[in-house]
Amino acid sequence: MAVVPGASQAQPVSYQLRAGDHRIDLNERLGAPLQLRWSGAIACTHCGRATKKSFAQGYCYPCFKRLAQCDTCIVKPETCHYFQGTCREPEWAQQHCFQPHIVYLANSSGLKVGITRKTQMPTRWLDQGAIQALPILEVDTRQQAGFVEMLFKEHVGDRTNWRAMLKGDVAALDLKAERDRLMSVTASGLGQLKREHGVDAIRELDSQHYAFHYPVTTFPGKIVSHNFDKQPEVSGILQGIKGQYLLLDTGVINLRKFTGYEVSVA
């Protein structure tokens, strides 16, 4: 799904469903029936070849094993092995990993820390269904972001409870106060990283606080998850969109999980 934040914090996030060359405005479909039907076909989002199974949300197995964007260091950037000469795609790494990254706090199901390329703000937070976000540090590379995140993970989680996020029972937080607390308890570790990578490599930010409102008319009381692999047709009344999930009166479905699936929409 393509996602754009509202023009103001009071306006909802705008979603469009990509269907071939067409774009379907999902906000306008709230309260109306929606049917998704998987044909049984899956195509790799990188090379386009047919595959019986999707790996890492959209790749065939050869691409999954070959591409740098599918390597474990993407999930655990502190394990980057570029300087060992074993990066799968050094040119890709230069374009994606050796770019400014942001360490942020977000509130999607409670306080969490995360990292993203600077150019991915605020898309990263919207994909997570965050209701609040606050950039706190900027670093030069993805690996450095991973080192910083490891420090913060000793004091705060780095995962979203997707069930709590979809139920909408998430209280607002004072992210700036949480930032100040975490910066204090990680000061020693951050100082060590600056000595290793350079004082200017890790920069503190005084950024604005972001808040997001999602187009949801009714949050589910009980989470029932749809899965195309088990049920090729999913239908129901569209009650909301949050993160990469559609909220239907019959259950929820994570569309990101089924990237590369050939699906018709009605």
pLDDT, tens only, 38-90: 999 999 999 999 999 999 999 999 999 999 999 999 999 999 999 999 999 99
- Domain boundary assignment for the chain: 2-52+220-265, 100-211
CB atoms within 10 A of CB 51: 20
How far apart are alpha carbons 84 and 253 in whole angstroms? 40
pLDDT, tens only, 183-192: 999 999 999 9
pLDDT, tens only, 98-128: 999 999 999 999 999 999 999 999 999 999 9
User: What pLDDT sits at residue 191?
Assistant: 97
State percent of the chain over pLDDT 90. Answer: 93
User: What pLDDT sits at residue 206?
Assistant: 93
* pLDDT band, very low/low/confident/very high, at 19 (cuts 50, 70, 90): confident
Residue type, 201: A
User: What pLDDT sits at residue 188?
Assistant: 97
pLDDT, tens only, 207-219: 999 999 999 999 9
* pLDDT band, very low/low/confident/very high, at 20 (cuts 50, 70, 90): confident
How far apart are alpha carbons 42 and 59 in whole angstroms? 9
How far apart are alpha carbons 180 and 187 in whole angstroms? 10
Range name among 11-25, 160-174, 185-199 with the lowest pLDDT average: 11-25
Instruction: Take residue 12 and report the two structure tokens written for it.
Output: 């909802």
Task: List phi, psi (to 5°) of 103.
Answer: -95, 130
